[in-house]
Amino acid sequence: MKINAQGIYYRDLNSTIREAVLAGTDQIELNNVNGQYFIGDGINKPVTITINGVPGNDLAAFMNGATIIVNENGQDNIGNTMNAGKVIVHGHAGDVLGYGMRGGKIHIRKDVGYRVGIHMKSYQENKPVLIAGGKAGDFFGEYMAGGVLILLGMFTDDPAKDKHGYLFGTGMHGGVIYVRGGVDESRLAKEVGVFELDDDDRAALEGYVAEFCQDFKLDVQEVLKERFVKVLPRSKRPYGNMYCPMPK
Amino acid sequence: MKPQPTHIFQKDISNCGLTGFISKKGTRVEGSVIIKSISLMHDRGNGLGGGFGAYGIYPEFKDFYAFHLMYENAMAQQLAEEYLDANFHIELQEDIPTRRTKAIANPPVFKRYFATPLETDEYREAVEYQGMTDSDIIVRHVMAINHEIEGAFVVSSGKNMGAFKGVGFPEEIAEFFRLEEYSGHIWTAHNRFPTNTPGWWGGAHPFTLLDWSIVHNGEISSYGINKRYLEMYGYLCTMLTDTEVVAYTLDLLIRKHGLSPALACTALAPPFWSLIDQLPQNERDLYTAIRQIYGSALLNGPFAILFASNKGLIGLNDRVKLRPLVCAEKDDFVYMASEESAIREICPAPARIWTPRGGEPVIAMVEGNV
C-alpha cells in the first residue's frame, strides 16, 4: 500500500497507517514524508513501513514488532521505549535515540546526536541493539542499564568530527558498548572502563554487524577488520553511595 | 467491566520551535518562505506566541531607525508619540499594516516610525560629555519607553529590520501582519510554548534591541543573575520573559565591549572547567578570563537560540545540548531550525546538513556590503 504523505497532518497520517495495519496490510510505503511525528508508534504487527522523506520526532516510539525503513535522515527520539521490531535509517539521526528502549533493533547508517541509547535496558530475552555507523555526540550510553550499543564511526558526512563526544557512558550501570577502533579515554565518564573483547563478545558482535551490513549492503569484513573495544560499567550501582553511604 | 484506559491518548505535545535563514549575498526572500518553514512545526507551540524577525525589509528607509511600537491603550500611544516627537526627527510614521483575522483576538495597536535622533540639548550632552553613540542613545530611549510608559512597548528598534510578534500560532501572526508582503535577506521565526512566563503580546519572540533579535527554545534558569548584571549597565528587563536577557547581553558584549560574535557565544555557553583544564595554555587562559569576567553573563539551563543582526545569523545551543538545533547550507543560504524537516520544507536538497555541538556557535555572516 502506498500513501502520499505530502502535507498530511501527522494525526491523519498515523490514523491511516493504523487502519491499514488493522486491516492486515503488511507493506506500507509512505512517500513525501516531511516532519510528521509519531510514525509507527505503538504498532504491534510485523508490518514493514518504508518512509521516503524525513520523518518527524518520536518515530517508532513504543513500537512492538514492526519494521521501519527510512530512506533519508531521521530526527530526534527514534525508538523511545521501543519493545520489539526494527528501525533502519539510511542517513543520519538526531538526539536521544532509543530512550528507554527494551527490545528490538535500531540501525543508523551515519552520524547520531547526543544521548544515544539513554536508559536502554534489557530483561531476559529482550535485548535492544542500537548500531550507529557514523559518529556520536556527547552522553553516548547515558544511564544505560542494559542492551547493546555499537559505534562504528565509519560513515559520516563530517570527516573532521571526533568519533564520539564527552561524558561517554555517564551513569552507565548495565549493558555493553562496542566501539570500532577504540575510544578517547579522556572523554569517558568515570562510571565506565575499557576492556578487550572475549570470544563471546566477538561472536555476538559479528552477528550484529553482519545484520547491519546486510541492511545497508556494506562489506562485513571491512567493518570487522578494525579492532573493537568494549566499554562496560565499573559498578552496577554507580550512585549507590550518593545520598546514604553504605559501610564497606 | 470494561478496562479503563491507562493514558489520556489525546495529549498535546509542545516544546517551542524556531527556524531561520540567511542569504549571505543579500538576496531578498519573500516572507512566505519563512512562514512555510515555521508552519511545519505548528505542533511545537500552543498558540500562545508566534513571531518573526526580518532583515532588509525597509531598504527605502535604511538610514532611519525603524521603531515598531505596540500600544495597549490610547494613552500609551499618546505619551509614546510625544516622547518620540521630542527626541526624534520622524521621517514617516504609519500603522503597521495588519489584517483582521478570526484567529487573532483583541490585538494591541501597532505603529512604526522611521526616525533619527534630534540634536536636542540632551542629545548633545550625551554625545559630547558622556561619550555616547547614536546606538547608545537609542538603547536609552527604548529602555525609557518600555519602562516608563505604561502599555507602550518597543517591539524593535533597528535599521532596515523589524520584529512582528504576538499571541497566536506563527502562521496566524504572519497572516495578521501580512508578512508575505515583506522581503528580506535574513529571517527568523518562533513558535512559542510558554512555560514559566505569561503568553502575552510583548512576551512573544523575537526579543530585540537595535538590530539584534533573539528567538529561543528553552529556559534561561540564570535569568535572575543575568538580569541583575544587565541592570548595572542600564538595561531594564520589562518583557516578563527570560529570553529578553539574551538580546541585551549580546548587545553589551558585542556592541559595547567589542567581543567577536564567537567570543560572545563563548561567554554565554562556556566550556566546563574540566574541559578548560585539558586545553593548551593560551586557550585555557582565554576561556578562564572569559568565565571570570563574564560569569554573570553565562546562560544556565537548556537553550537553542538564533540571534540575528543586519550583519548575520548565529545559532547556539547550551553546553550539553538540551534543545535541538539543525543547520544546513545551500549556495549562499544557511538555514537553522529545531527540526531538519523545517529546513527541508523550504530547501529540499541542501548541500550539507549538520548538527552543531552544544556550545558551538554556527555563525553565518553577510558577505561584503549587503
Check residue B272 and give its pLDDT: 94
CA nearest to A9 within chain B: B40
Exposure string (b/e) for B8-33, b if CB count within 10 Å is 16 or more? eeeeeebbbbbbbbbbbebebbebeb
Does A105 map to a domain?
yes
Distance, CA of B343 to CA of B327 (rounded, Å): 8
Of A35, A113, A158, the CB nearest to B339: A35
B309, pLDDT greater than 70:
yes
A247, part of any domain? no
Chain A contact for B78 (CB, 8 A cutoff): no
| Contact of B248 with B227, CB cutoff 8 Å | no
Residue of A nearest to B339 (CA): A75
Q: Is B329 on the interface with A (CB under 8 A)?
A: no
CB contact under 8 A, B342 and A35: yes
Name the pLDDT band for B254 (thresholds 50, 70, 90): very high
- Domain shared by A4 and A26, yes or no: yes
Residues in chain A: 248
Q: Catalytic annotation on B16?
A: yes
Q: Are the beta carbons of A138 and B353 separated by less than 8 Å?
A: no
For every one of its 248 residues, what pLDDT tens digit does chain A have, with 9 covering 90 and above?
999 999 999 999 999 999 999 999 999 999 999 999 999 999 999 999 999 999 999 999 999 999 999 999 999 999 999 999 999 999 999 999 999 999 999 999 999 999 999 999 999 999 999 999 999 999 999 999 999 999 999 999 999 999 999 999 999 999 999 999 999 999 999 999 999 999 999 999 999 999 999 999 999 999 999 999 999 998 877 777 778 776 66
For residue range B107-143, list pLDDT tens digits in order. 999 999 999 999 999 999 999 999 999 999 999 999 9
Residues of chain B positioned with their CB less than 8 A from the CB of A35:
40-41, 339, 341-342, 344-345
Contact B339 A56 (CB under 8 A): yes
The answer, yes or no, to whether residue B8 has pLDDT greater than 80, is no
Range of the domain at A226: 91-238
Residue B1 has pLDDT above 80, yes or no: no
- Could B345 and A34 be called an inter-chain contact, meaning their C-beta atoms sit closer than 8 Å? yes
Using the Cβ of B282 and the Cβ atoms of chain A, whether some distance falls under 8 Å is answered with: no
Model confidence at B170: pLDDT above 70: yes
Nearest to B341 among A54, A114, A138 (CB): A54
Query: Do A47 and A142 belong together in one domain?
Result: no
The model's confidence at residue B240, banded by pLDDT at 50, 70 and 90, is confident
Q: Which of B16, B265, B327, B347 is catalytic?
A: B16
Contact state of A73 with B340 under an 8 Å Cβ cutoff? yes
Assess whether pLDDT exceeds 70 at residue B7: no
Determine, for residues B275 and A166 on separate chains, whether the beta-carbon distance falls below 8 Å: yes
Residues A26 and A65 in one domain: yes
Specify the pLDDT at position A242: 76
**Is residue A196 in a domain?**
yes
Q: Do B324 and A76 touch (CB under 8 A)?
A: yes
Q: What pLDDT, in 10s, does the model give residues B332-360? A: 999 999 999 999 999 999 999 999 999 99
Is there a contact between A145 and A160 (Cβ–Cβ < 8 Å)?
no
Statement to judge: residues A102 and A84 lie in one domain: no
What's the rounded Cα separation, in Å, for the pair A105 and A149? 10
The distance of A106 to chain B (nearest Cα, Å) reads 20
Q: Does B74 touch chain A (CB under 8 A)?
A: no
CB contact under 8 Å between B355 and A137, yes or no, is yes
Q: Is residue A244 part of a domain?
A: no
- DSSP 8-class letter at B297: G
Mark yes or no for CB contact A114/B41 under 8 Å.
no
Verify that A112 and A52 share a domain, yes or no: no
Distance from CA of B18 to the nearest CA of A (A): 14
Find which of B341, B345, B346 to mutate to test the A interface (most A CBs within 10 Å of its CB): B341
Does the residue A245 lie in any domain? Answer: no
Q: Looking at the structure, tell me whether residues A117 and A234 fall in a common domain.
A: yes
* A165 contact residues in B (CB cutoff 8 A): 357
* Confidence bin at B5 (pLDDT 50/70/90): low
Q: Examine residue A133 and state whether it is found in any structural domain, yes or no.
A: yes
Q: How many Cα atoms are found within 13 Å in the side-chain-facing hemisphere of A185?
A: 6
- Residues in chain A with CB shorter than 8 Å from the CB of B273 are none
pLDDT of residue B197: 80
At residue A194, what is the residue type? Answer: V
Q: With respect to residue A243, please indicate whether it lies within any of the assigned structural domains.
A: no
Q: Per-residue pLDDT for B11 more than 90?
A: no
| Averaged pLDDT for residues B235-260 | 93
Segment B220-227 shows an average pLDDT of: 95
CA distance linking residue B41 with residue B338, whole number of Å? 8
The Cα–Cα gap between B95 and A159 comes to 52
Domain count for chain A, please give it: 2
Identify whether A41 is part of a domain: yes
- Chain A contact for B360 (CB, 8 A cutoff): no
Q: Which residue of A has its CA nearest to B272?
A: A166
For residues A81 and A95, membership in a common domain is answered with no
Residues of A in contact with B352 (CB under 8 A): 157
| Residue B43 sits at the chain A interface (C-beta within 8 Å) | yes
Give the tens place of pLDDT for each residue, B55-71: 999 999 999 999 999 99
Chosen for mutation from A95, A135, A163 (greatest number of chain B CBs closer than 10 Å) is A95
Neighbour count for residue B351 (Cβ, 10 Å): 10
- Cα distances (Å, whole numbers) of residue B81 to B62, B78, B145, B149, B155: 21, 5, 10, 11, 15
Q: HEC profile for chain A? A: CEEECCCCCHHHHHHHHHHHHHCCCCEEEEEEEECCCCCCCCCCCCCEEEEEEECCCCCCCCCEEEEEEECCCCCCCCCCCCCEEEEEECCCCCCCCCCCCCCCEEEECCCCCCCCCCCCCCECCECCEEEECCCCCCCCCCCCEEEEEEECCCCCCCCCCCCCCCCECCCCCEEEEEEECCCCHHHECCCEEEECCCHHHHHHHHHHHHHHHHHHCCCHHHHHCCCEEEEEECCCCCCCCCCCCCCC
Are A79 and A118 found together in one domain?
no
**Rounded percentage of chain B residues whose pLDDT exceeds 90:** 91
Q: What pLDDT is stored for residue A245 in this prediction?
A: 74
Task: List residues of chain A with CB under 8 Å from any CB of chain B.
Answer: 10, 34-35, 37, 53-54, 56-57, 73, 75-76, 92, 94-95, 113-114, 137-139, 157-158, 165-166, 186
What does the pLDDT average to over B80-88?
Answer: 98
Shared domain check, A137 and A59: no
Q: Are residues A114 and A39 in the same domain?
A: no
We report the CATH number of the domain holding residue A204 as 2.160.20.60
Q: What's the pLDDT score for residue A109?
A: 98
B176 three-class SS: helix
Please tell me whether residue B313 adopts helix, strand or coil conformation. Answer: strand
Q: Please answer whether residues A43 and A64 qualify as being in contact, where contact means their C-beta atoms are separated by less than 8 angstroms.
A: yes
Q: What is the pTM of this model?
A: 0.95
- Report the largest interatomic distance among the alpha carbons of chain A, rounded to a whole angstrom: 63
B318/A contact by beta carbon, under 8 A: no
Q: What is the pLDDT of residue B13?
A: 58
How far apart are the CA of B279 and the nearest CA of chain A, in angstroms? 12
* Res B15: pLDDT: 78
Residue that finishes a domain, picked among A31, A55, A88: A88
Q: Which of A88, A108, A141 delimits the end of a domain?
A: A88
Note whether A47 and A100 are same-domain residues.
Answer: no
Q: Which of B329, B339, B346 is the best substitution to test chain A (most A C-beta atoms within 10 A)? A: B339
CA distance B367 to B350: 20
**What is the average pLDDT value for chain B, to the nearest integer?**
94
CATH class of B17-269+302-365: alpha beta
Quick check: B276 contacting A, CB < 8 Å? no
Is A95 in contact with B275 (Cβ distance < 8 A)? no
Query: Which has the minimum average pLDDT: B34-38, B168-172, B240-244?
Result: B240-244
Cα(A227)–Cα(A212) distance, integer angstroms: 17
Among A37, A67, A88, identify where a domain stops.
A88
Residues A21 and A98 occupy one common structural domain:
no
Is the Cβ pair B357, A34 closer than 8 Å? no
